[in-house]
Amino acid sequence: MDHSEKEKKQKKNSWKSEILEWIIVIEVAVVVAVILNLFIIVNAVIPTASMEPTVMTGDRVFGNRLAYLSEDPQRGDIVMFKFPDDESQLFIKRIIGMPGETLEMKDGKIYINGSDTALDEPYLTVVPVGDYGPVTIPEDAYFMMGDNRNISADSRYWVNTFVYREKIEGKAALKYYPNIKKL
């Protein structure tokens, strides 16, 4: 084998090696992405204005699947969950009612357990209207509402009113498109 044939063979092997390296890198990236998506993050595109202005139509949001491993969901948390009436859909809403509570909406204000004081909701920018309830939330379940209450299809309107703990996919953590904002 002369010198030029040796160089051609080395180039051919180098080219094959380069392709193999890229295939391995791509496979590792795919495995990491799948693991992240299944166990660590939940990703959603906001389809409606029900959570405006907190998250806007078209925003892209990451949720943390690990957020509730060591603590329970809290009132005010924005969570991503399987829609109770069609679990193939992912919804994002705010937790308003907690397990075991009685919730009532009067003139757009939320009252918990018959309190005379309305729930403090500083994230609302549009004055909500309407009445609902009272309704008692089952143990291990939550009552969800959008921040844009007057147009939000939320627990008030669903056939299966409540979101059970095991259906919560994650706590909304970061809006990453079109700009970055911690939620």
User: What amino acid positions are annotated as catalytic residues?
Assistant: 50, 93
Dihedral of CA atoms 132, 134, 139, 140 in degrees, nearest 10, equals 10
Number of Cβ within 10 Å of residue 72's Cβ equals 11
Residue 71 tokens, joined: 């603590």
Q: Which residues face 118 on adjacent strands?
A: none
Number of Cβ within 10 Å of residue 104's Cβ equals 17
